[in-house]
């Protein structure tokens, strides 16, 4: 499974990436525009217990690939725009984690002047919708041209699905929250549409914002959650500091801050729920 970490500039993406992959990027690596890739083992207490009971030769965790995708820059028109690098990086992701900034940091001002998570989610959504519209419009045009010349069953079959989706996008509805049939999803698959990708909106909070966490999650969820959109929150700075500690030290640290769950555990739980995944454990002498 590959999850893409996306979001507006300075929203806390790389901080989250470093926390969950336990890597440390220096200034030069942070500034690079290409995507950072990290593989994380999915922590699972049941697996550890099974390993202790059966002592197999090797214990293999499930893994998740995280990609810290750079590439949403403010365009000349003042609106955010996806670069082609961004588009090709996220196309193949199974789901997206959209980091939305709630932390305040005067040293790193928000590009739009103030903190407003719902506005930021909407900014991003518009970009996804516009990108998908462009894909569908050009495909529909091609099909119309083609059907004028020859009869093609496949295209005739595809056309109403694409037109239905284009209408939804015109109504500013991201496709991921639509209850599309298996057949419709199958047709859409080849187009790797961005607004169809399951999305976790991950609010990036400062340690001083503990008390507003649940209320902010509820507020954003009320406006944005849907069939394949979920909302969660994490404490990027603390999680990053924690990633440098041993497990025992990290637990003490979490108790001290009253944090119930690490960012990695939150993201994994949410991603599994979003994608409808379940883990099955197998045990043998070898593995």
Ranges within 237-276 binding ligand GTP (CB under 6 A): 237
Nearest CA-CA partner of 231 in 215, 242, 243, 209:
215
CB of 81 to ligand GTP, least distance (A): 14
| Minimum distance of Mg ion from residue 14's CB (angstroms) | 3
Of 14 and 262, CB closest to Mg ion: 14
117 binds ligand GTP (CB under 6 A): no
- Cβ neighbours of residue 134 under 8 Å, at least 6 residues apart? none
For position 177 contacting Mg ion by CB under 5 A, the verdict is no
Q: Which residue has the tokens 């979001």?
A: 7
Q: What token pair was written down for 148?
A: 């004028």
Question: Contact at 8 Å (CB) between 200 and 96?
Answer: yes
Task: Say how far apart CA 86 and CA 150 lie, in whole Å.
Answer: 36
Residues in 201-230 at the binding interface with ligand GTP, rule: CB under 6 A: 204, 206
Residue 33 makes contact with ligand GTP by CB under 6 A: no
Q: Does 204 bind Mg ion (CB under 5 A)?
A: no
CA-wise closest residue to 125 among 176, 55, 195, 78: 195
Interface with ligand GTP includes 236 (CB under 6 A)?
yes
- Dist. CA 285–CA 287, nearest whole Å: 6
9 touches which of ligand GTP, Mg ion, none (CB within 5 to 8 A by kind)? ligand GTP
> Segment contacting ligand GTP (CB under 6 A): 103-111, 192-200, 221-229, 261-269?
103-111
**Unique residue bearing structure tokens 């049939």:** 181
Under the binding rule (CB under 6 A), the answer on residue 11 touching ligand GTP is yes
Residues of this chain that interact with Mg ion (CB under 5 A) are 13-14
């Amino acid at each position: 499974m590959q999850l893409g970490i996306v979001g507006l500039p300075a929203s806390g993406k790389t901080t989250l990436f470093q926390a969950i992959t336990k890597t440390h990027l220096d200034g030069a690596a942070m500034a690079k525009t290409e995507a950072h890739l990290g593989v994380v083992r999915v922590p699972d207490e049941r697996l550890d217990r099974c390993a202790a009971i059966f002592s197999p030769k090797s214990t293999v965790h499930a893994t998740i690939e995280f990609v810290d995708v750079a590439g949403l820059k403010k365009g000349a028109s003042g609106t955010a725009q996806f670069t082609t690098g961004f588009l090709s990086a996220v196309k193949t992701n199974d789901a997206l984690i959209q980091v939305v900034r709630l932390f305040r940091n005067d040293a790193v001002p928000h590009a739009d002047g103030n903190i407003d998570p719902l506005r930021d989610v909407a900014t991003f959504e518009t970009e996804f919708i516009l990108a998908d519209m462009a894909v569908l419009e050009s495909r529909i045009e091609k099909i119309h041209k083609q059907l004028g010349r020859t009869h093609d069953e496949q295209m005739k079959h595809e056309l109403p699905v694409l037109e239905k989706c284009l209408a939804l996008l015109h109504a500013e509805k991201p496709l991921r929250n639509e209850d599309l049939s298996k057949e419709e999803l199958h047709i859409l698959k080849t187009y790797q549409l961005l607004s169809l990708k399951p999305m976790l909106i991950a609010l990036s909070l400062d340690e001083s914002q503990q008390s507003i966490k649940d209320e902010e999650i509820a507020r954003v969820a009320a406006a944005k959650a849907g069939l394949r959109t979920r909302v969660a929150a994490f404490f990027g700075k603390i999680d990053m500091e924690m990633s440098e500690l041993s497990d025992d030290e990290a637990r003490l640290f979490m108790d001290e801050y009253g944090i119930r769950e690490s960012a990695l555990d939150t993201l994994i739980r949410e991603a599994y729920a979003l994608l409808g995944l379940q883990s099955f454990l197998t045990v043998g002498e070898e593995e």
